[in-house]
Amino acid sequence: QVDTHIHAAACMNQKHLLRFIKHTYQTEPDRIVAEKKGKKMTLKQVFESLHMDPYDLTVDSLDVHAGRQTFHRFDKFNSKYNPVGASELRDLYLKTENYIGGEYFARMVKEVARELEESKYQYTEPRLSIYGRSPDEWLNLAKWFIKHKVYSPNMRWIIQVPRIYDIFRSKNILPSFGKMLENIFVPLFEATINPKDHKELHLFLKYVTGFDSVDDESKHSGHMFSDKSLNPDLWTSEKNPPYSYYLYYMYVNIMLLNNLRNFLFRPHCGEAGSITHLVSAFLTADNISHGLLLKKSPVLQYLYYLAQIPIAMSPLSNNSLFLEYSKNPLREFLHKGLRVSLSTDDPMQFHYTKEALMEEYAIAAQVWKLSTCDLCEIARNSVLQSGLSDKEKQKFLGVNYCKEGPEGNDIRKTNVAQIRMAFRYETLCNELSFLSDAMRTEEISTLSK
């Protein structure tokens, strides 16, 4: 099984983070870890400045876990990324760029990786952020990755781009949306065309399999994207472009890049906000994260079914933020034949055990009484929609995994019953032929007129 949607900055659970903080405080209190207004600070001083004693910290005072108070409050949820509410600790422990070169964050990610490697069949696709504030971000991220040897055979990396142009623009960090796109994509073209001059980035990109577009979807933009919309270079206002604009320009750039390499586009979509986001992603995405709002649009649901666009769902995340578990449409989507997988989103905020993905499967299995076959189908979907290589997919799903229907299923590897595969295949074929018949009839009746 692959955790198809997880943010690196929240890939450890709260207890893990707590222990790590305590451990660093015990072992290296006098290490200089930050600089504030030109003054260097030791770890001890950082905690003193926050009036905090790490010995007294508990998972509760750490306060990174989502609860009832975050339901329908994405703003409150976002602040949960700050341990004990202190952005200083987020910078120190959960960022790749800081005084210690993101060492603490790298160490925790590697601890998570070691546990995955031990469990053998668990893979994960953590998201790392590129903001587009400056063209150096890529190189810094690549250096962090290489310096701390963050590589793990059980991890494939995805780059998430937060849709927060408006914040950078209002702080005058960016002159236009075009500049943001430039900062995000130009370094990639350069490193791809001329790898020798960009060795670090070139190496890092080997482990990056795709892009995600992230932020609170319920924030509404007044603008309606059309052929009259301004070009990115001319988009200089402080207003944030709409979701569709972001998706289109990311898509275009990724497609261009894909003449030279092979990135997937896997945006967050349909977690909240307008259902039109699902239209944008239908036209541009390889697969999406969440897709919750397909619940509200039978037509879009049908389109996602026909096109078999994979959906990485995170019902525990939804349960804390947008939709109660029992109302989550995952089960219905699965039974209808949509290509859903289970993912954790943010183990730090939502999960209790060390095995966050297994916990996600466990709860789904218990609440919805999913059968072994259901669970295995979900796991198979997760491998299919992941950024794992062709070779790895062959290893986990069988050599013919690309073929459709039961032929593509190696039951000894997937444990999905052939009758299930046959049912899915026949149902889809029937649906498609029903549609093409309907179209033909229409053509004929038009002709006969």
Nearest to a copy of itself of 83, 242 (CB atom):
83
Q: What's 11's DSSP letter?
A: -
How many angstroms separate the CA atoms of 449 and 442, rounded? 11
How many angstroms separate the CA atoms of 362 and 57, rounded? 29
Asked whether position 353 contacts a copy of itself by CB under 8 A, the answer is yes
Nearest to a copy of itself of 319, 386 (CB atom):
319
Cβ distance 163 to 248 under 8 Å? Answer: no
Nearest to a copy of itself of 164, 367 (CB atom):
367
The 60-99 contact track toward a copy of itself, x by CB under 8 A, reads x----x-xx-------------------------------
290 catalytic? Reply is: yes
Asked whether position 355 contacts a copy of itself by CB under 8 A, the answer is yes
Bridge partners, residue 6, by sequence: 126, 345
Nearest to a copy of itself of 139, 365 (CB atom):
365
Which residues contact residue 338 at a Cβ distance below 8 angstroms, ignoring those fewer than 6 apart?
294, 301, 304, 305, 308, 311
The least distance separating a copy of itself from the CB of residue 108, rounded to whole angstroms, comes to 18
The residue range among 302-310, 351-359, 393-401, 402-410 that interacts with a copy of itself, by the rule CB under 8 A, is 351-359
The pairing of strands 264-265 and 268-269 is unpaired
Catalytic residue among 7, 268, 277, 290: 290
Nearest to a copy of itself of 325, 425 (CB atom):
325
Asked whether position 361 contacts a copy of itself by CB under 8 A, the answer is yes
- Which is nearest to 64 in space by CA: 389, 445, 347, 303? 347
Burial class (CB in 10 A: 0-12, 13-18, 19+), 212: buried
Amino acid at site 399: V
The least distance separating a copy of itself from the CB of residue 411, rounded to whole angstroms, comes to 11
The least distance separating a copy of itself from the CB of residue 122, rounded to whole angstroms, comes to 11
The residue range among 200-208, 324-332, 381-389, 426-434 that interacts with a copy of itself, by the rule CB under 8 A, is 324-332
How many angstroms separate the CA atoms of 244 and 392, rounded? 33
Tokens 């949306």, located at residue: 177
Burial class (CB in 10 A: 0-12, 13-18, 19+), 55: exposed
Nearest to a copy of itself of 119, 297 (CB atom):
119
Which residues contact residue 239 at a Cβ distance below 8 angstroms, ignoring those fewer than 6 apart?
166, 221, 222, 223
Q: Please give the residues from 304 up to 323 whose contact with a copy of itself meets the rule CB under 8 A.
A: 316, 319
Token reading at 159? 């780059």
Asked whether position 359 contacts a copy of itself by CB under 8 A, the answer is yes
Length of the chain as a residue count: 449
Asked whether position 415 contacts a copy of itself by CB under 8 A, the answer is yes
The least distance separating a copy of itself from the CB of residue 343, rounded to whole angstroms, comes to 15
Catalytic residues: 290
Q: Which residues bind a copy of itself (CB under 8 A)?
A: 58, 60, 65, 67-68, 316, 319, 324-326, 351-355, 358-359, 361-363, 365-367, 369, 371-372, 415
